[in-house]
Amino acid sequence: MSERAALYLRVSTSEGEQTEENQRRELRKFAQEEGYELVGEYVDHESGRKGRNEREAFDQMFEAAENREFDTLVFWSLDRFSREGIRKTIAYLQQLNSLSVGFRSYTEPYLNTDDELVSHILLAVMSYFAEYEAKKISRRTKAGIERAREEGKQIGRPSKFDQHRGQIEELLEEGASKAEMSRRTDLAWSTVDRYVERIESE
């Protein structure tokens, strides 16, 4: 039985880099040459900086992955898949892996989880970068506290924003809506909206 594959295509009209049909033609040809059974195509015309809940086809693709409707996701390149930054991009790829769905980049052959050895190495490297990014954020936070102390600012009980920041950042990575964030944090929607705006502006 052939391995089932789905294609994810993203073209932002503001970028003018790739046409949808060019991506579609090349990815279909690639899937055929690799012996995949093509079972789905998901196409977005949005910026890759938008999250899962803002890209309809991206969200539908993950729902299909969660329902095990395909075994491998094929995309043009990593920046076509996501431009949300390393932490969120890695989180998406790790989510696919947790669903036992592989992924392949057409223009980046090393991003290929079909090979078990490559898959283990790749996921280990991604985990390292995710951990490194988390440590870097922690160092920035500590440096900010030290700077505040040097400037004579009082360092005491964390503000409400600081208390909820980590949880909101995790929910942002998951692609949760602001309404869902409000429900899961017990914060008012207007408060969540203000905190998200503050995080994204940093």
pLDDT digits (tens, 9 = 90+) for 176-191: 888 888 888 888 888 8
Q: Are residues 164 and 102 in the same domain?
A: no
Asked if the structure places residue 135 within a domain, the reply is: no
Is 147 a member of any domain? no
- The pLDDT assigned to 75 comes to 94
The C-alpha atoms of residue 117 and residue 121 are separated, in whole angstroms, by 6
Out of 97, 121, 145, pick the residue that ends a domain: 121
Query: Does 200 reside within a domain?
Result: yes
We report the CATH number of the domain holding residue 51 as: 3.40.50.1390
Are 79 and 14 in the same domain? yes
Same domain assignment for residues 97 and 8: yes
Q: Which domain holds residue 163?
A: 157-202
Q: 43 and 94 in one domain?
A: yes
> Looking at per-residue confidence, does 201 or 146 come out higher?
201
- Structure-token match 């949300």, residue found: 84
Distance CA 97, CA 173 (A): 16
Residue 107 DSSP code: S
pLDDT tens digits along 135-178: 666 676 777 667 766 776 655 556 778 888 888 888 888 888 88
Q: Which one of 72, 99, 121 terminates a domain?
A: 121
Separation of CA 32 from chain center: 27
Query: Could you give the strand order of the β-sheet that contains 4-10, starting from the edge strand earlier in sequence?
Result: 37-44, 4-10, 72-75, 102-105
197 band by pLDDT with thresholds 50, 70 and 90 = confident
- Predicted local confidence at residue 118, as pLDDT: 63
**Residue 35's closest CA among 2, 76, 72?**
2
User: How do beta strands 102-105 and 72-75 pair?
Assistant: parallel
In a domain, 47, yes or no: yes
Residue 20 resides in a domain: yes
Same domain, 94 and 172: no
Cβ atoms of 6 and 69 closer than 8 Å: yes
Among residues 98, 121, 144, the one where a domain terminates is: 121
Q: Would you state the pLDDT for residue 142? A: 72
Same domain, 23 and 78: yes
Residue 117 domain flag: yes
Query: Distance of CA 47 to CAs 19, 91, 121, 187, Å?
Result: 14, 18, 30, 29
Segment 7-17 mean pLDDT: 72
The answer to whether 50 and 83 have CB atoms below 8 angstroms apart is: no
Q: How far apart are the first and last CA of the chain?
A: 49
Q: 29 and 112, same structural domain?
A: yes
What's the domain count of the chain?
2
Same domain, 55 and 111: yes
111 and 31 inside one domain: yes
pLDDT in tens, 120-129: 666 666 656 6
Residue 13 lies in a domain: yes
Pair (109, 172) in one structural domain:
no
Residues 44 and 117 in one domain: yes
Instruction: Tell whether 193 is covered by a domain.
Output: yes
